[in-house]
Chain A
Amino acid sequence: MQENQALTFKKGLKDGLPICLGYISVSFAFGMMATQGGLPVWVALLISMSNLTSAGQFAGTSLILSGGLYIEIAVTTFVINIRYMLMSLSLSQKIDEAMTTLQRWVLSFGVTDEIFAVAMQQHGSINAHYFSGLIAMPYLGWTVGTLLGGTATNLLPVGVRTALGIAIYGMFIAIIIPPAKESLPVAKVILIAVVLSCIFKLTPGLNLLSSGWVIIICAVIASAYAALRYPVDDAEVQT
């Protein structure tokens, strides 16, 4: 219980800051791509503010630009983002049971790869205050980055922009490595997921599968294996 009290709105804001910084560079690229493709800045902003997702909105926007059909856009967005279902399901077991339906409806808008990752890293259950703080900063960064990318395309030197491409992955590594050191099952889960993901990406034929499905398949196999082999009684993996 003591741990729960520490999860305040302010701590959410603080934990969201690294995500916010990472998002600025990604959404900067999105803003550039959208405006260079011929969309006005306000449209790019509207997409970022209503979607709050990287790969999904990149793909959707290129379909808008290339004249894709509505059904194409719907299916592509769905397939790329279907991993969020797995994340939201995992998150549903992590959040406070007291969270109201309205809070769930509003806050689920902010489930992104990074926000999910940081939320799951916390001890104990997640309350609405913390979760809204955690969403606020990344949302701001995503919006501001889109605006900057759409208006001032030469603001950041190219060298810095390409280097920032690794920032989000660096953050993911920072999340998965420390628990892997402490827990053999976690290390095995990571290893299995990495090997499967590489097989999917590098095998001709299999690499035609969209990344959304690849993530789901890899995650389901690796987690199911570990759940059978190393079941846990707590909602969190003991590390």
Chain B
Amino acid sequence: MNYQRILICILIMALVTYIVRMLPLAIFKKKINNRFIKSFLAYVPYAVLAAMTFPEILYSTANLYSACFGLLTALLLAYKNKGLLTVALGSTAAVFVAEQLIHLLA
């Protein structure tokens, strides 16, 4: 195993990842006053999270059915304003139960 190569690879990965995160925070120290940019950045979190969750959530478990069950559970719990941990663990539990059932029926 060529450790020198591996360490250089890790260094490249770490540096690239860090620079991408660091530059905007280091550069934009003042609040931006442009109304469009302010509004744009206020909406970004919702758009980013939505685009990351769908459709990936459907492929995040052992099969599509259990994922759908987990998704519905998450939507329901979130709609009832439950906390992050409750929704995360609730959907996990729903997936677990669904997968055990599918396993039994198959």
Q: Which residues of A line the B interface, CB within 8 A?
A: 17-18, 21-22, 38-40, 43, 46-47, 50-53, 56-57, 60, 63-64, 68, 70, 73-74, 77-78, 81-93, 95, 97, 101, 104-105, 107-109, 111, 113, 116-118, 120-121, 159-160, 162-181, 185-186, 189-194, 196-198, 201-202, 211, 214-215, 218-220, 222-224, 226-228, 230-237
Contact = CB atoms under 8 A, between A and B. Distances in A.
B22 to A, nearest CB: 4
A85 B23 contact: yes
A39 B5 CA distance: 13
9 contacts: A43-B6, A91-B25, A160-B96, A162-B99, A167-B92, A169-B53, A169-B91, A219-B47, A227-B36
B91 A176 contact: no
A83 B44 CA distance: 11
A166 B95 contact: yes
Interface of B: 1, 6, 8-14, 16-18, 20-32, 35-57, 60-62, 66-67, 70-71, 73-75, 77-79, 81-93, 95-96, 99-100, 103
B20 A170 contact: no
Nearest to B86: A174
Q: Which 3 A-B pairs have the closest CB atoms?
A: A174-B87, A170-B91, A177-B78
Contacts of B57: 166, 169, 173
B12 A166 contact: no
Most chain A CB neighbours (cut-off 10 Å) among B26, B39, B56, B79: B39
Most chain A CB neighbours (cut-off 10 Å) among B10, B27, B84: B84
B25 A222 contact: no
Given A88-B23, A163-B95, A167-B92, 14 more contacts: A73-B13, A89-B44, A162-B95, A163-B61, A174-B78, A175-B45, A190-B50, A193-B51, A198-B54, A227-B40, A228-B36, A235-B41, A235-B42, A237-B43
B12 A231 contact: no
Contacts of B87: 170-171, 173-174
A191 B88 CA distance: 21
